[in-house]
Amino acid sequence: MSIEQQPEAWIIVNRDTGYRIQVSLFPDLYNKDMFEVIPLYTAPPKREPLSDKEITKNTPKLIHIGERLAFHAGVRFAEKHHGIGGEE
């Protein structure tokens, strides 16, 4: 079970000009139509790996079982490469 990380601050960007106004601790003070409010975190949240069932559900309908196994291995390789579910 992962805990949802909360933003520490927000950066305020003018939607028309792209100008970054400032870093704010109070994002609700800005008009969301005029400003984009981007959350800032101290570190990226910990991501959990896909379950075998989720991988199987999203596997393309391939002809050979070997390709399905290779797809599954590729997903696990990508997760490991991106630090998902791995040890720190």
Distance CA 5, CA 7 (A): 7
- Which distant-in-sequence residues (6+ apart) come within 8 Å of 36 by Cβ? 12, 13, 15
What is the mean pLDDT of the segment spanning 55-75?
A: 82
pLDDT exceeds cutoff 50 at 69: yes
pLDDT of residue 65: 79
pTM for this entry: 0.49
Q: Which H helix or E strand runs over 81?
A: helix 65-81
52 CB burial (10 A radius; 0-12, 13-18, 19+)? exposed
- Quick: pLDDT tens for 50-62: 999 998 888 877 6
